[in-house]
Structure 1
Amino acid sequence: MAQKDQPDIYDIAIVGGGPSGRIAALALAQAGFACALFAPEPAKTDGRTTALWQQSIDLLRETGVWTDIEANAAPLKKMRMIDATGRLFRAPEVTFDSAELGMEVFGFNILNSELNAVLQTYCDQQDNLATYAESVVGATFEPDAARLTTAGGRTVSARLAVAADGRNSLLRESAGIEVKRWSYPQVAVVLNLEHRLPHQHVSTEFHTATGPFTLVPLPGRQSALVCVETADGAEAMLAMAPTQLERELERRAHSILGAFKLASEPQSFPLSGMNARSLVGQRLALVGETAHVFPPIGAQGLNLSLRDILDLRTTLLSARVRQADHGGQAVLAAYENKRRGDIRTRTNAVDLLNRSLLTSFLPVQAARSTGLYLAGKIGPLRRILMREGMTPGSSLRPGG
């Protein structure tokens, strides 16, 4: 934990010890802002993984951390979608290949625990950044500054606070920012697997009647699994003995990777969504899951969060050039305007895809199947979908 001499007031205080908070702290400190990061040690090891797309990788490369992250990550070269719903209208198999876009890979997949470890090391070494392994227990937002109080009794002032403290954010609640929440009749069972056959850097997503069953490559002969089930179905899976669960998962995967062996303890997470009514408050900006939450479909979560950070950094740097107050309402309004469209589009797309798998309404099933069929048959459409999945708006720009 690095603690430099505490100034009377920081330029920016970032609250949150997950990837969003740590990457925001690195990016903003390297941009020349005097920053403080409040990042308590996690209560337990996170066995989940994160897939990072190219725009996110570019940001991580800028901050200097990518080489160490890449060493622990698996390349993702192809994405394969298989309709396993067993319904009347079923889509043909579709494979998205990064080579079709002239790219070696779409991105990389890494264990969250390893990603966090690399980020923590770099944050502790970063100039212009004081890090505190303390939780923030109180926050007030005044016209001139945000004032934060930690569990250890420390008080810190900053011209801007960045809330990256998750879906149950204390900062967001302290600022009185309301949220819209919704839930799904599903639970995600998450674990990592060893398998007999190589994955060939192909991510495979089976669309089932209860939600996606997705295998995402990890280094070596390992893959991360996200299996979306009903609450009862998830409970039944978690109650299985390890060998029974391994056989059941291999059956659901149609043995495409051979025999499975559990490489981590299964975890489960009820699926839900959340959007903050506003992305900003007085002296406050929201990023990551403090601002938006949706199901783990299409690997959009952290990538959307890193676009928050990119747009926030751009907005704050522009304000500094104009010698504007970087924590003022005009600057924060500009940040919100930049982010609203991307967040709304991603939230709606993930929600629509998830609900289309759950519905028994035949016209919706037919529409989903037709869409995937066209994506498989029409090259320009397939390439647009691939670009939009990684970099929103890229297909609409000249040369996109």
Structure 2
Amino acid sequence: MSDFFDCLVVGTGPVGMVAARGLAQAGISVGLIGPEPNLSRDGRTVAILDKGVSLLQSLGMWDAAQKNSAPLTEMRIIDDTGSLFRAPPVTFRAHELGLEAFGQNIELTDLVTHLSKCLETQTTIHRLSNTVKQFSRKADGVIEVELTSGHKVKCRILIGADGKNSQVRDFAEIKTKKWDYPQSALTALFSHERDHEDRSTEFHKRSGPFTLVPLQGRRSSLVWMMPPKEAERISRQSNEHFARLVEKQAHSLLGKMTLESQIGLIPMSGLSTDIYAKDQIAVIGEAAHVFPPIGAQGLNLGLRDIEALLKSFSNDLSDQALQKFDRDRRRDVKTRTMAVDLL
């Protein structure tokens, strides 16, 4: 195995794996650094919107995963604030926009499993199943990465897909802005008596949105936003009591509900960077931006990062190409940050 690559991607989550696949298929030599993905089921799901699904399809990374996903053909919003003057329920239908579905909802573990299998068949991606000890820049501009194993590899372009506590971002000295929201999210998976009919339902409650998103069969994922103290209290309830509470909050829309996972408790926070690339280094995914689990922005924004990166590198693997990527992403992410804050 060569110790020099055109690109080194740090991070083995979905964004890192998809980025490595896209770069390799573009004929770029790629090393992917990070531990083997965690495949334990923790109840988290991701709703991949139509454009994200299209990107995965173009890279040959979706067909196998699709059998574990559920299409989102309708999105219903219900005012459940208890106000005297309430807005009527609104339903958005994908076919009205010429789409088969707005996107696909899939358990994160299933998605990661399928993405990992895709990389196993991509012989031009060199897996370095290790963690980073340190980075350095050589006199000729080449970036060297020393792994905790002691092995050293070098690259022309370094890409950080290593999450909100990104080592790559710190090495590049890219500044961040961090903030907290006055809410936490409860997440869980449920089976239920009635068919969801591929329709996600978001109840707007006084404490925050309560959203049920379809999974395969008569199953759905929950994201329930509320003040942190209330979320912590509810998360300590028994599985049976929590399921009854969720069924009540959903007005028995899906009939009796049975908890199928642990109850996740996620403090809501945000992160943005002032730039997305500098000096032969780019950051993507949560290394560049962190959003609450509303509006399906998280992974989808990471996939948009990858699409922009591949477009920028289509003719030129250089720092100039990274500057184009930086300009494109700043505009898009700023707009979407404002939209999520309004939610």
TM superposition score category, shorter chain reference: over 0.9
Distance in 2 between residues matched to 1:296 and 1:91, nearest whole Å: 24
Deviations 1:127-160 (A, max 9, x none): 3110122122212245522211212112110100
Greater alpha carbon shift after TM alignment, 82-91 vs 198-207: 82-91
SS of residue paired to 2:314? helix
- 8 Å CA contact 1:147, 1:157 repeated in 2: yes
SS of residue paired to 1:296? coil
Q: 2:68 aligns with which of 58, 68, 72?
A: 72
SS of residue paired to 1:340? helix
Distance in 1 between residues matched to 2:206 and 2:292, nearest whole Å: 16
1:265 lines up with 2:254 in the alignment? no
Matched with 1:279 is 276
Deviations 1:341-388 (A, max 9, x none): 1100111100111xxxxxxxxxxxxxxxxxxxxxxxxxxxxxxxxxxx
Greater alpha carbon shift after TM alignment, 43-52 vs 53-62: 43-52
* Matches for 1:24-43 after TM superposition, within 5 Å: 24-42=19-37
> Letter of the aligned partner of 1:105 in structure 2?
A
- 8 Å CA contact 2:200, 2:214 repeated in 1: yes
Matched with 2:188 is 191
> 1:112 and 1:61, CA in 2 relative to 1: closer, same or farther beyond 3 A?
same
- 8 Å CA contact 2:278, 2:323 repeated in 1: no
Q: 2:178 aligns with which of 173, 177, 181?
A: 181
1:125 lines up with 2:115 in the alignment? no
Matched with 1:19 is 14
1:213 lines up with 2:210 in the alignment? yes
Matched with 1:293 is 290
- 8 Å CA contact 2:270, 2:291 repeated in 1: yes
Matched with 2:93 is 97
Deviation at 1:41, TM superposition (A): 2.7
> Letter of the aligned partner of 1:332 in structure 2?
L
* Matches for 1:368-387 after TM superposition, within 5 Å: none
Deviation at 1:88, TM superposition (A): 5.1
Matched with 1:10 is 5
Distance in 1 between residues matched to 2:229 and 2:60, nearest whole Å: 44
Matched with 1:310 is 307
Distance in 2 between residues matched to 1:15 and 1:96, nearest whole Å: 38
Structure 1 gap ranges (5+): 320-325, 354-400
Kindly, what percent of the aligned residue pairs are identical? 42
SS of residue paired to 1:344? helix
Distance in 1 between residues matched to 2:224 and 2:154, nearest whole Å: 43
Distance in 2 between residues matched to 1:189 and 1:343, nearest whole Å: 25
Distance in 1 between residues matched to 2:209 and 2:142, nearest whole Å: 45
SS of residue paired to 2:223? strand
Q: Which has the higher helix share?
A: 1
Deviation at 1:182, TM superposition (A): 0.8
Q: TM-score, normalised by structure 2?
A: 0.96
Deviations 1:192-242 (A, max 9, x none): 001111100000011112221110000011000001111111111111111
Deviation at 1:273, TM superposition (A): 0.6
- 8 Å CA contact 1:57, 1:66 repeated in 2: yes
Deviation at 1:85, TM superposition (A): 1.8
Deviation at 1:45, TM superposition (A): 4.2
SS of residue paired to 1:13? strand
- 8 Å CA contact 2:3, 2:152 repeated in 1: no
